[in-house]
Amino acid sequence: MQVSNRFSIAIHMFACMEYFKKDYKITGDFIASSVGVNPVIIRKITSQLRDAGLVNVTRGTGGISASRAPEEITLLDVFNAVDSLDEGRLFSFHENPNSNCPVGSHIHLILDDKLERVQQAMERELSSMTIADVIRDTDKYVGKTAE
């Protein structure tokens, strides 16, 4: 299992939006140059973030901006916006375990609770972190954002 890179790209986008907001118009092309991906990917992720109510997109002179304060956007919000889970489940389960096998016939009983606990732990951790935490680390490692 691997979370797609859309999640880290989306967080990178928020860091750019905050760090550069006073000095540059934040466009998909601008963000793509920082992320190092094709602008089409940024447009797709921007659409997902917009549909989730996390960013505003103003055509013309406006650019892309966060729709809420950084303290109000959790990493779980971002994850849910850009990484679609299969029926809300982090882990997909193989579809046809052998019901005639002692292990195969019980594998759901063996694993379901464990995998659910892992997903709950991940969601709990992501919900405890915000874009503001990312901004603080950006300030720490890159330098203070322009005030």
Q: Which residues pair with 58 in a beta bridge?
A: 63
Q: Give, for 63, the enclosing helix (H) or strand (E).
A: strand 63-66
Query: Is the per-residue pLDDT at 94 higher than 70?
Result: yes
Query: Is the per-residue pLDDT at 147 higher than 80?
Result: no
SS3 of 101, please? coil
pLDDT tens track for 26-55: 999 999 999 999 999 999 999 999 999 999
CATH class, range 6-141: mainly alpha
Name the residue ranges covered by the structural domains of the chain: 6-141
The distance of Cα 126 from the centroid of its chain, to the nearest Å, equals 10
